[in-house]
Amino acid sequence: MAVGALATGQAQAISVNVNDIDYDVTTFTGTYNDNISKFATAANGGVMPWWGSNSLATEFASAVQYSLGSPNNHVSPFFGFYLYGTSTLVMCSWSASADDTWPIWCGGVGSHWVVTWAQATTTSVPGPLPLFGVAAALGYSRKLRKRIYRSTKAGSGTDCL
């Protein structure tokens, strides 16, 4: 059964938490063959943190469900995680049945098929470094104010700056 893309372009990002990490998940429509560099983990230059892991692809599909629509013949975007041979992508997607018995569907699609894929990046969380910078600036500002105050006291006659 061929799976065609019902929509083109890129969807808005949704935020999900998988294994205590926040991700922004979006989609792109295209073939594996035309987007090979995306099919890898971020550490390897890709945009699929689930690449190489069936269980992680399943977790992402469960977290996203239909939040990004159902562009692949009424199932969610595909979470590709493995290239089988040279022409088949193994992937998972959310495909809830009426009774939710088997909400996750994993299978294979041709590497030349135009379908909608999920991609994700970690959500940037500001670290404590900016806070340390602000604290240092406030501390320096207080010292400077004290020096100015001491130097302007009546009868001081000295310049402490």
Structural domain that includes position 96: 14-122
Nearest alpha carbon to residue 117 among 84, 59, 69: 69
Coil, strand or helix at 121? strand
Domain contains 4 = no
- When pLDDT is cut at 50, 70 and 90, the band that residue 90 belongs to is very high
Domain contains 93 = yes
Domain contains 91 = yes
Domain contains 84 = yes
- Predicted local confidence at residue 119, as pLDDT: 98
Domain contains 134 = no
Mean pLDDT for 37-42 is: 96
Contact 25, 118 (CB under 8 A): yes
pLDDT digits (tens, 9 = 90+) for 114-131: 999 999 999 976 666 555
Share of the chain above pLDDT 90, in %: 60
Contact 46, 40 (CB under 8 A): yes
Q: Let me know the angle formed at the C-alpha of 15 by 9 and 16, rounded to the nearest 5 degrees.
A: 120
Average pLDDT value for the chain: 83
Domain contains 48 = yes
pLDDT digits (tens, 9 = 90+) for 22-37: 999 999 999 999 999 9
- Predicted local confidence at residue 140, as pLDDT: 63
Q: Report how many domains make up the chain.
A: 1
Domain contains 65 = yes
